[in-house]
Structure 1
């Protein structure tokens, strides 16, 4: 496998990206890295339908989406349901730590996307701070013992 060991506690992903080429690249990269991409959608409304109907461990979420619902709206809904959120955007917003666990800058390489998800896994599965990843900002809060 190109990207190392298979995912541990984050396996099922929903990719939410309105740019078709970026969406295709992200889905291909994540599947190749061993993740189960439940769906790739371009709007908040479509994302909400999958969040309601599927078991999802994490979102790979762009903030600029098609439709009326914003990426922030989707992130808040996911956070409230206990779904990890990785923002993937051109510029990480100031309030990102309120709605996501991490923010990866665009543009990014395929390996940076996989490393960002592995950082989320470190925070969630191992309850420790992740290693540094270029272009990734994380907000790690240790879980109570």
Structure 2
């Protein structure tokens, strides 16, 4: 049983990804782990509308989105709304440079099970629990503007 399934409350996630198959597989894995996943989107405007209405606990955002939309710009807006962001991208250096607008990054390609562990780790840390191990591929940022330190 995963950390999400052990929880008494369902954490809500938002996935913003321009590759439909990748988004669908990720959504299914996260739902199987017990998370509520909002409607998938691949555009900044739609993602912001969903974020404002639903207030997800965590947004998983690809850097390159549909059209000319940019996940880092979206992350700036999500941070302003108080929504932490996990950046997902094959552009590792660009993701690392976004430390002020995201709480972590995960490089593509990633294993779906590893992503579920990364989400569980980040949500636990956001809730003051530092006991879950950090997946090897997950880069956690300190400057994201959210307290990721485990409870004292």
Correspondence 1:16-35 to 2 at 5 A: 16-35=16-35
Cα offset, 1:17, TM superposition: 0.4
Measured at CA, do residues 33 and 43 of structure 1 come closer, stay the same or move farther in structure 2, by a change above 3 Å? same
**Structure number with higher strand proportion:** 1
Aligned-partner Cα distance in 2 for 1:59–1:76 = 12
Does structure 2 conserve the Cα–Cα contact (< 8 Å) formed by 1:44 and 1:68?
no
Give the alignment's TM-score, normalised by structure 1. 0.86
1:137 matched to which residue of 2? 139
2:84 and 2:33 mapped to 1: Cα distance? 18
Instruction: State yes or no: 1:6 paired with 2:8.
Output: no
Please state how far the C-alpha of 1:55 moved relative to its aligned partner: 2.4
- TM-score by structure 2 length? 0.83
- Residue 121 (structure 2) aligns with: 119
Task: Work out the CA distance in 1 between the residues paired with 2:15 and 2:63.
Answer: 12
Query: In the alignment, is the contact (CA less than 8 A) between 1:7 and 1:118 conserved in 2?
Result: no
Inter-partner Cα distance in structure 2 for 1:143 and 1:69 = 34
CA contact (8 A) 1:103 1:137 kept: yes
Between 129-138 and 115-124, report the one with greater CA deviation.
Answer: 129-138
Q: Distance in 2 between matches of 1:64 and 1:101?
A: 18
How far did residue 4 of structure 1 move?
Answer: 5.0
Matching residue within 98, 102, 109 for 1:107: 109
Gaps (5+ residues) in structure 1?
Answer: none
The DSSP-based 3-state class of the residue aligned with 2:99 is helix
Unaligned runs of 5+ in 2: 143-147
Q: Aligned-pair distance for 1:14?
A: 0.9
Runs of 4+ with >6 A deviation: none
Residue 21 of structure 1 and its aligned partner are, at CA, apart by 0.8
Contact 1:45–1:67, Cα closer than 8 Å, also in 2? no
Deviations 1:30-68 (A, max 9, x none): 111111011111111210111122121110110100134
Q: 1:7 to 1:86 in 2, by over 3 A?
A: farther
